[in-house]
Amino acid sequence: MSDPSRNERGSISGFVVVLSMTFVACAGLAFDGGRMIAARAEATDAAENAARAGAQQVTSLRSGNPTIDKSAATISANRFLETIGITGVATADENSVTVTTNIKVPMILLGIFGVRDRSVSAVRSAQPFTSP
């Protein structure tokens, strides 16, 4: 008679490989997902601060009708983004400055499974405050 344990040799190897890949995928979701959440917070923070920097470019304060200098506001917001190393676009009108930021997040662990880099973006606006 043949030994039954000899017929099942190596059958556990496939299970271990699948289980290991599942653990790596779960770790990738936690690790790379956490990095995406952190990048989203960074993009939001950068957009808010750049919009505030642009909204400080106010003209006509003494006349009582303050407006934003569109050109100076756009330059100021873009300069802020350049200083902190974040890509984005700033637009302005007489009343507000809007900034859109974009951060590319490379997938480290999920890249093993073919998941490509992801982008996160944020859009924030700021208006100058005038006290009565």
pTM higher than 0.85, yes or no?
no
Phi and psi of 99, rounded to 5°? -125, 135
Reading the chain (132 residues) residue by residue, the pLDDT tens digits are: 555 555 656 667 778 888 988 998 899 899 999 999 999 999 999 999 999 999 999 887 777 778 899 999 999 999 999 999 999 999 999 999 999 999 999 999 888 888 899 999 999 999 987 666
Helical packing angle, 70-84 and 11-55, nearest 10°: 140
Q: Residue 112: its pLDDT value, please?
A: 87
